[in-house]
Structure 1
Amino acid sequence: MHYVSAEGLTKSYGVNPLFSNISFHINEGDKVALIARNGVGKSTLLRILAGQETADEGKLWVHKDVTIALFEQDPRFDENKTVLENIFHLNHPVILAIRQYEAAVESEDGIQIADAITRMDDLGAWDFEAKVKQILGKLNIHHLQNPVSELSGGQRKRVALAKTLIDIGFEHKHTLLMMDEPTNHLDVEMIEWLEHYLNAENVTLLLVTHDRYFLDAVSDEIWELEREDLYVYKGDYENYMEKKAARLESEQASIDKARNEYRKELEWMRKQPKARTTKSKSRQDNFYEVEARAKQKIEDAQLQLQVKMSRLGGKVIEMKRVYKSFGELAILKGFDYTFSKGERIGVIGKNGVGKSTFLNILQQIESADSGKINIGDTVIFGNFSQQGLVIKEDLRVIEYVKTFAESFPLAKGGSMSAAQFLELFLFSPDKQYTYLSSLSGGERKRLQLLTVLFRNPNFLVLDEPTNDLDLPTLAVLERFLSEYQGCVMIVSHDRYFMDRLVDHLFVFEGNGEVRDFPGNYTQYRLWLKEQEELAAKEAESKATTPAAQSQIASTSPKKKMGFKEKKEFELLEKEMPLLEEEKHALTNQMSSAKLPFEELQKISNRMIEINRLLEEKEMRWLELSELQ
């Protein structure tokens, strides 16, 4: 089925064209990754397809049966409503039933739960509710009655992602899912789950991402916006890099040829008289076409910067018996480590285990509860924090950089001006005079990185440096860091980025435990898989001992408790105590000699009913507990 067609789309902001005369088609089942530098129109193109913006020129056709779902970098919510109300916002009986059920479970009201279960049964909503539970659980979304206005940035992204996945899973058969940087603020386990989920759901996808492993896992085609044009590459990221290099080489050869022709034609133009014949007029028109081709520039920015890094002495940092906790949440329990020159350490772990706190303690931005942190006299930190740029006033980019220094010293002597340094970080001369408030999220991240390096640090601390950075800038950053001579500590959920740059990992396992793993992220995941397989084999071997075998032989095979049975079991555990309480209250009433006969008869009948219900529910509870 044909989903979307675009022909000759053009969009500009002011005098700056984003893309010009681009055409493409999206069919059912296509999985496309869209890449480009920040600020050249990726998000704008997605908003045009979603109908939130209009193109300046061109035609856009969307099939009448296709719904377009857009997951944006900055999600929008009804701030006056709860997380539950924002996620289950569709006005449909099944969605409303699931919303009622989730609210009842969270309130732990037995009567409400019973009503909600009855309604779920009537609508046959359990299969979809199981999918909803999976999404909410995997994205670590709890406390559904909290106002959405109280959520942190990362929580808002996860709630928005859950809302999008639930919408596309329920409402429409034919949906084009467009996702703008969906992996930002997700930990690695969440990202890997999202990969499997998108592949299992078999959605039609248009994706903007900087995560190259995620890109390869969920897409089979890459579109690149570059120099106002759209280039299409079939295959994975590695194939894209090879094909793009071949294209640039071919384009450069074509430009070189045009330049040779241009020199000859320019000489002819200078020699010709002002009066033109028809023949020479045709050649003159051709000259301007050749001139345009000859003056093309292919920008394939490569950052080659020899930093005059501040000298790093023999003593770097020693951490001895460091403890840190927030209430009952332990971050560090007696952490010991001595850092060496040139170390490259990755820091990984689930969200909320204290990775950013650890970086702050290391730099003495936050204090530890106890222990010693000795920092060498020569250590100069370069802190790239998640907080982003700290801006007191809205300056132009070049003015902002000059507040740190007018020039940047180089390792081989000499220096580089602030303007030249900005160009190395892909800020064109025009862009250098843009106000900070007008920069995109990725451009602000790039400028933040530049200002960190401008101070010549010898110990770089990078907390999620890849969020909002485009793939060309990431390649620039990776190349720079691979040649950097100082110490580097990186917190990142970008597995590709970590694999390329780190030598070993600090794995925050929770409860203050930190494992020092000798290898990169992929090696760590392979090791984890091996450990899980070993644990499974040990459990299997224990189960095959003579004692275990005789126990297995004496018991019949058990059916596993399903989702609906689990819900029934939970409800029984709530209902039975309520019936016992009612039975006790009625027994007390019956002991009163003052009750009239009619009232006594009613209580007696109710007691018989309660005893019958208790017997049935207890038997069912025993059956279900066997399955458990």
Structure 2
Amino acid sequence: MNYLSVENITKSYGERVLFEDISFGINKDQKVAFIAKNGTGKTSLLNIITGREEADSGLITSRKGIHMAFLSQNEELDPNLTVEETIFASDNPILDIIANYERALLNPADTETYQKAFEKMEVHNAWDFETQYKQILFKLKLENLAQKVKNLSGGQKKRLALATILINKPDLLILDEPTNHLDLEMIEWLEEYFKKENITLFMVTHDRYFLERVCNEIVELENGQLYTYKGSYSYYLDKKEARIQAEQASVEKAKNLFKKELDWMRRQPKARTTKSKSRIDDFYVIKEKAHQRRKEHEVQLEINMERMGSKILELHNVSKSFKEKVLLDKFEYVFKKGERIGIIGKNGTGKSTFLNLITGRLKPDAGKIIVGDTIKFGYYTQSGINPKEGQKVIDVIKEFGEYIPLKKGRIISAAQLLERFLFDRKRQYDFVEKLSGGELKRLYLCTVLIQNPNFLILDEPTNDLDIVTLNVLESFLLDFPGCLLVVSHDRYFMDKIVDHLFVFRGNGVIEDFPGNYTDFRVYEDSAEPETKTTEKKEKKTWRQDDSDKLSYNEQKEYKRLEKDIQRLEEEKEAIEALFVTGELSQDEIQEKSLELQKIINESEEKTERWFELASKIEE
């Protein structure tokens, strides 16, 4: 059943064409993600679909009677209402059913009206409405129902808008970056909610794990062309790579044909026959295809970072509180060269405060923070950039630096850095006020990187960045030779670039976990409820006491080996079980025997390495 159709939509601003003649449909039960670079019109497309903007041409048609809701980046809520009043002020059909039932109760003599109202309450399960909306508000950390909207933070307002939409249960839900302003716990809850609820979704999001676990179709806008992939995010990556390879092969073939046709064209007399005229037309088609170029933005840099001395950053018994709220309690840590640490925890547990303490923007209540003489911080904050009026993109970045030095005397100029982060030469000379929100974040990121820091601190760098930019940023950070400290709710991003985590539990408790976010979730989920609390208390002491016995990479390897050995044992048992059935042919027995021997050899190697690491701990 088709819910919405987009037919030949075009949108431009002056000479800048965002998209042209694009078409697609959204059907019932589809969960569709829309992927495109920042500045190519993702938000404009959502606004056109929902009637907030008009297209230059084309048609949007939706099924009659469909209930559609839109979560935008900038929600408009009544500041004078409370959290609970906002829920009741929404356009929710259940509220009308409840109101009709309450009116029927006031006039018990009218049994027919009462019976109809009662039946509607039954059909729509309206009896549990209060329980439902309170559960959703609780999951989104909006427990104070009497709090006025005007007193909420920007993140709380976004979560209230999301809660209102979820409670209304629309037929089609359109979302613009729904995971922004949600902590990891909320994101994982929202994933589960969308997986189990029969809601049709069309969303823009940069959260790749969210895409993988929620969406069943990907629509990508690239270089003005629309590509549809009916599958998860990993399916999209596989098929996109195959498409790119096919395109490259096609271009190479066209180049070869172009050379032949060019030679033929040069040999032709001036008088043309009809047959040769047709071939000439074909020649120009081939020429266009042969000159196609894909704009790839892979970053492979050997950054010549400023020298980092032996003393980097030390925190000794650092404490910080705001009134009764304890954020750090006698925290101890000595940073080492090349450390790549991710910071996770619920909102309000002190993550940003920790970064501000390190960079001197806040003073600790007690303890010492010692920064090495050679350390140069690069600090990307959530506040963003404040460019001057009338500035061009290239001028903004040049205020902070002209180039980044590379090894062997090479450099990457400000213009080249912008180009790597998807600002082409023409875009670099645009006025900053023309940039989208995501492009502004991308420019701000470049102003931090051009200063060539040796200790990079990123506070939620992935907010409002598109997936293409995230891939570029990840490549850059993987090449970055200095220390890296990152606060992010993007689990894919964290998994890719950090070696271990600071887990902010609240009330001043900060644990050091030797692994990435996925490792952490596996550990948390595998812990027994009754032993979980005890183990959490013991983790910090064990890792601090044994930090001189196992490096962070060794601790990570130790945990990985345990999982690998268990997996190999399960594979071994599965093959041995096949032999018992007696159903294998001679060729299959031979094949499985070789596979079994390979598994046994690998298991023995990993077990030997595991004992080697275990012996260090026990020393």
Asked whether the two chains share a fold, i.e. TM above 0.5, the reply is: yes
Which position in structure 2 is the counterpart of 1:592? none
Instruction: For residues 286-344 of structure 1, give each alpha carbon's deviation from its aligned partner in whole angstroms, at most 9, with x where no partner exists.
Output: 23322221222212321222222111111111110111000000011101111100111
* In structure 2, C-alpha distance between the alignment counterparts of 1:230 and 1:315, rounded to whole Å: 52
Structure 1 counterpart of 2:398, one-letter code: K
SS at match of 2:412: strand
* In structure 2, C-alpha distance between the alignment counterparts of 1:180 and 1:518, rounded to whole Å: 34
The answer to whether residue 387 in structure 2 is matched with residue 387 in structure 1 is no
Which position in structure 2 is the counterpart of 1:453? 449
Q: Quick one: structure 1 residues 536 and 444, their matched pair in 2 at CA, closer, same or farther if it must change by over 3 Å?
A: closer
Of 1-10 and 335-344, the range deviating more from structure 2: 1-10
Q: How does 1:560-571 map to 2 (within 5 A)?
A: none
Instruction: For residues 406-464 of structure 1, give each alpha carbon's deviation from its aligned partner in whole angstroms, at most 9, with x where no partner exists.
Output: 33321221223221221111111111112112211211111111111111111111111
SS at match of 1:430: helix
The answer to whether residue 289 in structure 2 is matched with residue 293 in structure 1 is yes
Which position in structure 2 is the counterpart of 1:515? 511
Q: Quick one: structure 1 residues 30 and 261, their matched pair in 2 at CA, closer, same or farther if it must change by over 3 Å?
A: same
* In structure 1, C-alpha distance between the alignment counterparts of 2:533 and 2:489, rounded to whole Å: 31
The answer to whether residue 359 in structure 2 is matched with residue 359 in structure 1 is no
Shift of 1:271: 5.5
Which position in structure 2 is the counterpart of 1:551? none
Of 525-534 and 196-205, the range deviating more from structure 2: 525-534
* In structure 1, C-alpha distance between the alignment counterparts of 2:331 and 2:222, rounded to whole Å: 48
Which position in structure 2 is the counterpart of 1:569? none
* In structure 2, C-alpha distance between the alignment counterparts of 1:181 and 1:92, rounded to whole Å: 23
* In structure 2, C-alpha distance between the alignment counterparts of 1:415 and 1:481, rounded to whole Å: 17
Question: Does the CA-based 8 Å contact 2:344-2:489 persist in structure 1?
Answer: yes
* In structure 1, C-alpha distance between the alignment counterparts of 2:92 and 2:413, rounded to whole Å: 61
Which position in structure 1 is the counterpart of 2:22? 22
Structure 2 counterpart of 1:337, one-letter code: Y
SS at match of 1:527: helix
Which position in structure 2 is the counterpart of 1:621? none
Shift >6 Å, 4+ stretches: 96-99, 119-122
Question: Does the CA-based 8 Å contact 1:8-1:20 persist in structure 2?
Answer: yes
Which position in structure 2 is the counterpart of 1:52? 52
SS at match of 1:166: helix
SS at match of 1:73: coil
Instruction: For residues 228-269 of structure 1, give each alpha carbon's deviation from its aligned partner in whole angstroms, at most 9, with x where no partner exists.
Output: 111111222222212111111111111222223333444454
Which position in structure 1 is the counterpart of 2:557? none
Question: Does the CA-based 8 Å contact 1:21-1:229 persist in structure 2?
Answer: no
Which position in structure 2 is the counterpart of 1:547? none
Of 440-449 and 351-360, the range deviating more from structure 2: 440-449
SS at match of 2:374: coil
Q: How does 1:211-610 map to 2 (within 5 A)?
A: 211-269=207-265, 272=268, 276-535=272-531
SS at match of 2:419: helix
Instruction: For residues 69-125 of structure 1, give each alpha carbon's deviation from its aligned partner in whole angstroms, at most 9, with x where no partner exists.
Output: 1111222223454444433323668537989xxxxxxxxxxxxxxxxxxx9999674
SS at match of 2:363: coil
Q: Please, which runs of 5 or more residues in structure 1 have no aligned partner?
A: 100-118, 539-628
Shift of 1:190: 0.5
SS at match of 1:378: coil
Which position in structure 2 is the counterpart of 1:10? 10
Higher Rg: 1
Shift of 1:145: 4.0
Of 344-353 and 63-72, the range deviating more from structure 2: 63-72
Which position in structure 2 is the counterpart of 1:140? 141
Q: Quick one: structure 1 residues 454 and 523, their matched pair in 2 at CA, closer, same or farther if it must change by over 3 Å?
A: same
* In structure 2, C-alpha distance between the alignment counterparts of 1:537 and 1:367, rounded to whole Å: 31
Shift of 1:50: 1.5
Q: How does 1:88-107 map to 2 (within 5 A)?
A: 88-90=88-90, 94-95=94-95
Structure 2 counterpart of 1:165, one-letter code: L
Which position in structure 2 is the counterpart of 1:72? 72
Of 193-202 and 47-56, the range deviating more from structure 2: 47-56
Q: Quick one: structure 1 residues 97 and 517, their matched pair in 2 at CA, closer, same or farther if it must change by over 3 Å?
A: farther
Which position in structure 2 is the counterpart of 1:155? 156
SS at match of 2:407: coil
* In structure 2, C-alpha distance between the alignment counterparts of 1:161 and 1:91, rounded to whole Å: 14
* In structure 2, C-alpha distance between the alignment counterparts of 1:348 and 1:531, rounded to whole Å: 19
* In structure 2, C-alpha distance between the alignment counterparts of 1:212 and 1:122, rounded to whole Å: 40
Q: Quick one: structure 1 residues 98 and 13, their matched pair in 2 at CA, closer, same or farther if it must change by over 3 Å?
A: same
Which position in structure 1 is the counterpart of 2:187? 191
* In structure 2, C-alpha distance between the alignment counterparts of 1:279 and 1:94, rounded to whole Å: 70
Q: Kindly tell me the number of residue pairs found equivalent between the two proteins.
A: 514
Question: Does the CA-based 8 Å contact 1:97-1:120 persist in structure 2?
Answer: no
Shift of 1:483: 2.4
Percent of aligned positions that are identical: 54
Instruction: For residues 338-363 of structure 1, give each alpha carbon's deviation from its aligned partner in whole angstroms, at most 9, with x where no partner exists.
Output: 11001111111110111000001011
* In structure 1, C-alpha distance between the alignment counterparts of 2:157 and 2:318, rounded to whole Å: 33
Instruction: For residues 124-144 of structure 1, give each alpha carbon's deviation from its aligned partner in whole angstroms, at most 9, with x where no partner exists.
Output: 743122110111111111444
Question: Does the CA-based 8 Å contact 1:461-1:488 persist in structure 2?
Answer: yes
Q: Quick one: structure 1 residues 53 and 266, their matched pair in 2 at CA, closer, same or farther if it must change by over 3 Å?
A: farther
Which position in structure 2 is the counterpart of 1:166? 167
Q: Please, which runs of 5 or more residues in structure 2 have no aligned partner?
A: 100-116, 535-619
Question: Does the CA-based 8 Å contact 2:474-2:493 persist in structure 1?
Answer: yes
Q: CA RMSD in A?
A: 2.5
Structure 2 counterpart of 1:524, one-letter code: F
* In structure 1, C-alpha distance between the alignment counterparts of 2:19 and 2:92, rounded to whole Å: 39
Shift of 1:165: 1.0
SS at match of 1:324: strand
SS at match of 2:408: coil
SS at match of 2:409: coil
Which position in structure 1 is the counterpart of 2:591? none
Which position in structure 2 is the counterpart of 1:86? 86
Instruction: For residues 577-596 of structure 1, give each alpha carbon's deviation from its aligned partner in whole angstroms, at most 9, with x where no partner exists.
Output: xxxxxxxxxxxxxxxxxxxx
* In structure 2, C-alpha distance between the alignment counterparts of 1:79 and 1:120, rounded to whole Å: 34
SS at match of 2:275: helix
